[in-house]
Chain A
Amino acid sequence: MATQGDYALETPGRTMLAKIWDQHVIARISDDTDLLHIDRHLLHDLGGSRGLLDLKSRNLAVHNPELTFATPDHAISTARGRAGTSKTGLELLEGLRLETSATGIAMFDIDEPGQGIVHVIGPELGLSLPGCLIVCGDSHTCTHGGLGALAFGIGSSELTHVLATQALIQRRPKTMRVKFEGKMSAGVTPKDLILALIGHVGAAGGTGYAVEYAGSAIREMPVEGRFTVCNLSIELGAKMGMVAPDEKTYEYVRGRRYAPKVEMWERAVAAWRKLPSDADAVFDREVTIDVAKIIPQVTWGISPEHVIGVDGRIPDPREIADPARRSAIETAIDYMGLKPGAPIMGTPVDWVFIGSCTNSRLSDLRAAAAIARGRKVAPGVRAWVVPGSETVKREAVAEGLDKLFIDAGFEWREPGCSMCLAANGEVVAPGQRSVSTSNRNFIGRQGPRARTHLASPAMAAAAAISGAIADVRTMER
């Protein structure tokens, strides 16, 4: 053991954020703002061709096409044969094909392995790696942080900037560490952990921060679960979320299509082992969550912070003193068509959506299938399973999950964003109620006046079978 004196003159340890950030600084712009190198730029159909056309109109070239990758996901239909893709959706798809091909950017097209939701395919292909700086014109880019990458969403202007320069000017965020400590109870999933955190700190609790998720529950968690946790970082206001890489991470990345191989692999892993935050690193904010206390979660309102345990009740505005909070809760209850003070369990549902960059990976589909196996979707409920990528789809089919879902009365779809954001004609009808494994229960998110309850894949499957919001713990076998 070192005595205190040995460390007295040393600066505090560094966070993983600081280590990754510093490795990407091309130039210091000001005290807290740097020009950063972008290692991976992912394009999708909604913004990709538009960004490339914007560049062209300004007579600029793509700086590093070999570090830029594209796939259609947002605006394409997930029906067989992509039937029903809108005229504009087809134009955006064709635009992405033309502009990527003209600029030498690799595109993973429909029906090819590699196509899928951009935040599913990045890690799946080994494009997203620990220590990588990844951007994409989509706020859920934080998902890739599950590998120990620094990944965040950007707007259209920044997208053009990255295409033109392979760099981005960013202000250093504050750091927050969330420790999930303890063992997850039966029926509790990574989705429940992150929803419970959002309920605890609020939808703006992480604004201005990069969040590092740590603690025993994160170390025990498979990498796909870490993607789910990081995915919802933006729903607590943080545009970046990350988990330190470990043996599980290396096992996940090893052998993937674009991952380093042989000697390069050894060199990369040696570098990645230095990334985790030092034991004495200091964070601007620390939150600890007792995982054992978390039960399956479900949202009741119009912000992800409107979340309760499945045994909970809808809040009663009359019990809330603060007028602004009371009015916000009244608005949410009114939009959602719920009764103040009523239990959430037993609320009848019309739709169930299992998919999105949050919960459409093989482990998610397996969790839903474990509940659906040998049961039937309740009459009057439409339930969709939309795999996150062509590869996830093929792996699920190889395990017979497609047949299992179809036998249970679910519809099995082609990979894409689908009903998470309703940009592709796939919507929940006005006034209808959906239990969704996606990430946003905003007003109209799944279609004008659609009512969304966010939950885990197992909880969503339980709702499909029960025809109402149900406690998955009573249905596990």
Chain B
Amino acid sequence: MPKSSTNKPFTKLSAIAAPVMRGNIDTDVIIRIERLVETSIRGTLGKWAFGSLRYRPDGSENPEFILNREPYRQAEVLITGPNFGCGSSREGAVWSLQEIGIRAIIGSGFGDIFFANCFQNGILPIVVDKDIVDGLAAEVENTQGAGRIGIDLEQQTITSPSGKMHHFEIDPRRRAGLLKGLDEVALTLQRDAEIRAFQETDRNERPWIHFAGNHA
């Protein structure tokens, strides 16, 4: 029996949120590549999340960066500027955020690959209009971070610190995957007969795609 790999289900959350509003925060900024050039990386990345923003060149914490301040150190939600997570496909960017306790990210748009990687790890990225994002960030800042953001995935709602409720859209399949913590590999393997049938037909239609066995 293959071992499964499931994520912690995501249903509801009421949490401290940290606005990180600069646009185009890329995955190199979220996690530098050399932190990923290690034989074993899971569990080591939280310390390096947002490294170039979180630390000064001498390695000390930069007190200006929001995640170095209370209560934002406890944040489980990020409120982000446009195009957060653009750049590389490195899933280490998501892992590093996961390791500092982030469970949801709210923004007006995300890098496509980063967005997909979030769902693979049980993190909910939420796309809403920029004015909603800006409004949430302003409310959080007005309460010095004390005001919590509520997220209900079943109802597809975000509740601002003052109680304003916003609906968000999400792909139903991805929503179900998060709610149940599904293992996508196991689900697809249940369709293995269909995969093999496709390949059988395709071997006749596009024989140049299908090599006969290992030809190393």
- Contact between A156 and B91 (Cβ–Cβ < 8 Å)? yes
Q: How would residues 76 to 116 of chain A score, 1 for a CB under 8 Å from any chain B CB and 0 otherwise? A: 00000000001011011001000000001111000000000
- Contact between B171 and A33 (Cβ–Cβ < 8 Å)? yes
- Contact between B120 and A155 (Cβ–Cβ < 8 Å)? yes
- Contact between A237 and B112 (Cβ–Cβ < 8 Å)? yes
In B18-69, the 8 Å CB interface with A consists of 21-24, 26, 28-29, 32-34, 36-39, 52, 57
In the docked arrangement, what's the CA distance between A431 and B199, Å? 53
Q: How far is the CB of A307 from chain B (nearest CB, A)?
A: 13
- Contact between A207 and B215 (Cβ–Cβ < 8 Å)? no
Contacting residue for A164 out of B22, B171, B185, CB 8 A:
B185
Known: A203-B24, A268-B208, A448-B32. A57 touches B3 (CB 8 A): yes
A297 at the interface (CB under 8 A from B): no
In B75-121, the 8 Å CB interface with A consists of 81-83, 86-92, 94, 109-113, 116-117, 120-121
- Contact between B173 and A33 (Cβ–Cβ < 8 Å)? yes
- Contact between A75 and B37 (Cβ–Cβ < 8 Å)? yes
In the docked arrangement, what's the CA distance between A269 and B214, Å? 25
A467 at the interface (CB under 8 A from B): no
Contacting residue for A157 out of B37, B57, B121, B213, CB 8 A:
B121
Query: How many residues of B are counted as interface, with CB atoms below 8 angstroms from the partner's CB atoms?
Result: 66
Q: Chain B: interface secondary structure?
A: loop
In the docked arrangement, what's the CA distance between A210 and B210, Å? 25
Residues of B within 8 Å of A106, CB to CB, are 214-216
Residues of B within 8 Å of A124, CB to CB, are none
- Contact between A59 and B3 (Cβ–Cβ < 8 Å)? yes
Contacting residue for B195 out of A132, A165, A265, CB 8 A:
A165
- Contact between B194 and A26 (Cβ–Cβ < 8 Å)? yes
Q: How far is the CB of A455 from chain B (nearest CB, A)?
A: 19
Query: How many residues of A are counted as interface, with CB atoms below 8 angstroms from the partner's CB atoms?
Result: 89
B207 at the interface (CB under 8 A from A): yes
In B187-216, the 8 Å CB interface with A consists of 188-189, 191-192, 194-195, 198-199, 202, 206-216
Q: How far is the CB of B24 from chain A (nearest CB, A)?
A: 5
Residue of A nearest to B114 (CB): A155
Known: A161-B188, A448-B52. A422 touches B33 (CB 8 A): yes
Residues of B within 8 Å of A153, CB to CB, are 88-89, 113
Contacting residue for B209 out of A27, A39, A173, A443, CB 8 A:
A39
- Contact between A442 and B91 (Cβ–Cβ < 8 Å)? no
- Contact between A107 and B89 (Cβ–Cβ < 8 Å)? no
Contacting residue for B216 out of A105, A155, A443, CB 8 A:
A105
- Contact between B199 and A324 (Cβ–Cβ < 8 Å)? no
In the docked arrangement, what's the CA distance between A167 and B82, Å? 31
Q: How far is the CB of B111 from chain A (nearest CB, A)?
A: 7
A169 at the interface (CB under 8 A from B): yes
Q: How far is the CB of A158 from chain B (nearest CB, A)?
A: 7
Residues of B within 8 Å of A129, CB to CB, are 208-209
A421 at the interface (CB under 8 A from B): yes
Stretch of A60-68, A212-220, A222-230, A457-465 at the chain-chain interface:
A60-68
- Contact between A29 and B28 (Cβ–Cβ < 8 Å)? no
Q: How far is the CB of B128 from chain A (nearest CB, A)?
A: 15
A41 at the interface (CB under 8 A from B): no
Q: How far is the CB of A89 from chain B (nearest CB, A)?
A: 7
- Contact between B37 and A331 (Cβ–Cβ < 8 Å)? no
In B172-186, the 8 Å CB interface with A consists of 172-173, 184-185
A154 at the interface (CB under 8 A from B): yes
Residues of A within 8 Å of B86, CB to CB, are 203-204, 207, 237
In the docked arrangement, what's the CA distance between A396 and B4, Å? 48
- Contact between B28 and A440 (Cβ–Cβ < 8 Å)? yes
Residue of A nearest to B134 (CB): A324
A281 at the interface (CB under 8 A from B): no
- Contact between B171 and A155 (Cβ–Cβ < 8 Å)? no
Known: A35-B188, A139-B88. A443 touches B52 (CB 8 A): yes
Show 26 residue pairs from A and B whose CB-CB distance is below 8 angstroms, ordered by the A residue: A26-B195, A30-B172, A67-B210, A67-B211, A88-B39, A129-B209, A155-B90, A155-B94, A155-B116, A155-B120, A156-B92, A158-B120, A165-B189, A166-B195, A169-B173, A203-B24, A204-B109, A207-B83, A237-B86, A237-B112, A239-B112, A259-B208, A268-B208, A305-B24, A448-B32, A448-B52
Known: A239-B112, A422-B34. 18 other contacts (CB 8 A): A29-B173, A33-B171, A35-B191, A58-B185, A67-B209, A67-B210, A88-B39, A92-B39, A139-B87, A158-B120, A167-B195, A169-B188, A239-B113, A303-B24, A422-B33, A440-B28, A448-B32, A448-B57
Give 6 closest A-B pairs by Cβ, nearest first.
A157-B120, A106-B216, A260-B208, A155-B91, A155-B117, A204-B83
